[in-house]
Amino acid sequence: MPENEIDQIKNQFINKLSPMKIYLFGSFANGTANEDSDFDFYIVVKDGTENLMDLTVEAYKSIRSIRNRAVDIVIGTESRFETRKHKLSLENEVMREGILLYG
């Protein structure tokens, strides 16, 4: 796993977004990644955070100069994550198979 690139991306998210938690999920988290795999990040932010779409754009902008492969970013509020992690949902997959990188 390219830990250095993941750490650089994580640190950019911490500096630019002030997240509560950052998870890596998908193929890099479950050990099935290959040379064409992308990074999948789920970022949990505080309830009341406005304009999650704008925040997602900022997340992509913050890493554009340091990433060497495709990246998918999902941003959700703490209450949404907590509510959905027990249901059949992306949040449940992140809880079961993801790796907590921060928080």
Q: What is the DSSP letter of 41?
A: E
CATH T-level assignment (fold) for domain 3-102: Beta Polymerase; domain 2 (3.30.460)
End-to-end CA distance of the chain: 21
Is 102:14 a contact under the CB 8 Å cutoff?
yes
Average the pLDDT over 82-101 and give the result.
97
Mean pLDDT to the nearest integer, 22-43: 96
**Exposed e or buried b for every residue in 10-42, given b needs 16+ CB within 10 A?**
bbbbbeebebbbbbbbbebbeeebeeeeebbbb
Identify whether the C-beta of residue 84 lies closer than 8 Å to the C-beta of residue 52. Answer: no
- pLDDT tens per residue across span 39-86: 999 999 999 999 999 999 999 999 999 988 999 999 999 999 999 999
Single pTM value for the model: 0.94
Q: For the chain, give every domain's residue range.
A: 3-102
The strand pairing partners of 22, in sequence order, are: 43, 102
Residue 3: per-residue pLDDT? 84
Structure-token match 């990188």, residue found: 101
